[in-house]
Structure 1
Amino acid sequence: MNDGGAMLPWLVIREDDNGNRYRVGRYATQDEAQKIVESLDGRGQQRIYWVERVSQTTG
């Protein structure tokens, strides 16, 4: 999967207090995605953020 030609295999996912999940963004590295999670977690909102790697399939 790519975005504008660059590989962005790391997702930041948000789950709100109603159980709804949203993709916040795609990132090139796990470290970059984790920094986003840490910045969002500090806002005091009742939401959960985590990092997932996009599965890479060939086809």
Structure 2
Amino acid sequence: MTDSGAVLPWLVIRQDEGGNRYRVGRYATRAEAERVADRLDSHSHQQLYVVEKVGRAVG
């Protein structure tokens, strides 16, 4: 059986003004995660959406 982290290694994280971070979703590719983060970010003025790879920050 495969590890789901290997199948969906890209995370979209929402960070609020207080620095609290919440996982929004997991995605198979960085491009897919970035599309979701960009779409969410365009609708929000209070939170920041970032893309990270499981196990390390991407930037």
TM-score for both structures, normalised by structure 2: 0.80
Q: Which structure is higher in strand share?
A: 1
The alignment's C-alpha RMSD in Å is 1.7
> 2:29 maps to what in 1?
29
> 2:20 maps to what in 1?
20
Q: Which structure is higher in helix share?
A: 2
In structure 1, runs of 5+ residues without a counterpart are: none
* C-alpha distance in 1 between matches for 2:44 and 2:20: 18
Runs of 4 or more, structure 1, over 4 Å off, are none
* Structure whose CA Rg is larger: 1
* C-alpha distance in 1 between matches for 2:35 and 2:43: 13
